[in-house]
Chains A and B, each alone.
Chain A
Amino acid sequence: MKNSAGNPEAPVFGVAAEFQCARDLYHAAEKIRDAGFRRWDVFSPFPIHGMDEAMGMKRSLLGKIVFLGGLTGFLTAVTLEFGPTSFLYPLIVAGKPTNLFTVPAFFPIMFELTILISAFTAVFGMLIMNGLPRLNHALFNWDRFKKVTEDKFFVAIEAGDPKFSERSVRDFLESLGGTNITTIHGD
């Protein structure tokens, strides 16, 4: 017999196994990586140090995106400040120049806007790259998976993976020391 979660009629999402501690999960991940799987993931209550290498993933792109965000913020500020002050409606204020000499007075706002837009890009960039918010997910069909936010560790290899075949994957996970190996269906 095999235990499964979700609606049996629904297509298979993948096969998942449970691990007891971060260490086991870490080594399991290394093996899965070496086995050459593509579409799989490990799940843990907290980020595990060094797991990226263990899964053989490159650095997140987020940094570069945020840089662009910051640049946008900065340029917005420059236009926002010089536009009105020097071009749209130049006024004599305290005998101060409207040319480049006035930059010191403009700096604070440039800085703030740079930060603001960067921060927005960082957060929303992260969410989008993580495909969040996504309230419904096949894994949520599996009751044991609830523990992932408490103290349990999981591995899931998705059906979308070219090397995926339910039987072999189940055995493979078993060999890695995974428990409660379960086939996850959608709903």
Chain B
Amino acid sequence: MANFFPKWTNWIPLKLVICLAVIGAFLVGGIWYYFTPKYTRVGFMPTQPVPFSHALHVEQLGMDCRYCHSFVEVASHSNVPSTQTCMACHTQIRATSPKLEAVRESWKTGRPVSWVRIHKLPDYSYFNHAVHVNRGVSCFSCHGAVNTMQTVWQDKPQSMSWCLDCHRAPENFLRPPAEVFNMNWKPAAGENQREMGMKFKEEWEVKPPVTCGGCHR
């Protein structure tokens, strides 16, 4: 009688090994790429109740971040402006623009505008804006070029390892205090970010925490 298994079955093991190897590689690669904050968070761009354009206000009108996010230099978190702040201008300018309906509504009723949150750190990590902006870390470093965004999206993964990249080597990001809120700042020609950063780091004695306690309480 003949073999129970036909000849071709002899190749199955080899094929199997190759397949598994390939699938495995894809799996690892896939998880590596698709399941990390780099992919899951970056680019998150929800539609906001008010089509507020940072590009317009910051880039064209040249408003300072601190006009709206007024407490960023003193408080742990950078506040979202109150309706009051918006109305300060928009009672005169574009007072009837339909885009601003939600704001006027809120001003009338006293019900706040509820903006969709974009940058969300987990509850157990405590980030403090004040200490960063006062010590030469720009908004740009964590939020990207918000000044050019029509609608704001998340520009950086803001994962723990991402934080650590800077906390371990702040010299790559520190800038002159005056330029912290200047979203377009680049090191001038001949200036080298690293060297400058090193200088600041020593002068200001910048020692960012890298143990758990720095952020987790």
Q: Report A146 CB to chain B, min CB distance, Å.
A: 10
Residue from the list B1, B2, B164, B211 in contact with A92, Cβ < 8 A: B211
A6/B10 in contact, CB under 8 A:
no
Assess A187 versus B7: contact at CB under 8 Å? Given A6-B2, A7-B2, A133-B13.
yes
CA distance A58 to B2 in the complex (A): 34
Say if the beta carbon of B124 comes within 8 Å of chain A. no
Residues facing B in A91-147 (CB within 8 A) are 91-92, 133-137, 140-141, 143
Residue from the list B3, B12, B13 in contact with A187, Cβ < 8 A: B3
Q: Report A171 CB to chain B, min CB distance, Å.
A: 27
Q: Which residues of A contact B2 (CB under 8 A)?
A: 6-7, 141, 187
| Number of residue pairs spanning A and B whose beta carbons lie under 8 angstroms apart | 32
Residues facing B in A6-40 (CB within 8 A) are 6-7
CA distance A86 to B76 in the complex (A): 33
Chain A, residue nearest B210 (CB): A89
A135/B9 in contact, CB under 8 A:
yes
How many A residues have CB within 8 A of the partner chain?
Answer: 15
CA distance A134 to B7 in the complex (A): 9
Q: Which residues of B contact A6 (CB under 8 A)?
A: 2
Chain B, residue nearest A124 (CB): B17
CA distance A141 to B2 in the complex (A): 5
Say if the beta carbon of B190 comes within 8 Å of chain A. no
CA distance A7 to B6 in the complex (A): 13
Q: Which residues of A contact B6 (CB under 8 A)?
A: 136
Q: Which residues of B contact A186 (CB under 8 A)?
A: 7
CA distance A143 to B1 in the complex (A): 7
Chain B, residue nearest A146 (CB): B1
Q: Which residues of B contact A140 (CB under 8 A)?
A: 3-4
User: What would be 15 A-B contacts, judged by CB atoms less than 8 Å apart?
Assistant: A6-B2, A7-B2, A92-B211, A133-B13, A134-B10, A135-B4, A135-B9, A135-B10, A135-B12, A136-B7, A136-B8, A136-B9, A137-B3, A141-B1, A141-B2
Q: A89-B164, A135-B9, A187-B3 are in contact. List 16 more A-B contacts (CB 8 A).
A: A6-B2, A133-B13, A134-B10, A134-B13, A135-B3, A135-B4, A136-B5, A136-B6, A136-B7, A136-B9, A136-B10, A137-B3, A140-B3, A141-B1, A141-B2, A186-B7
* In the complex, the 10 A-B pairs of residues with the closest C-beta atoms, listed nearest first: A135-B5, A135-B9, A136-B5, A140-B3, A136-B3, A187-B2, A133-B13, A136-B7, A136-B10, A134-B10
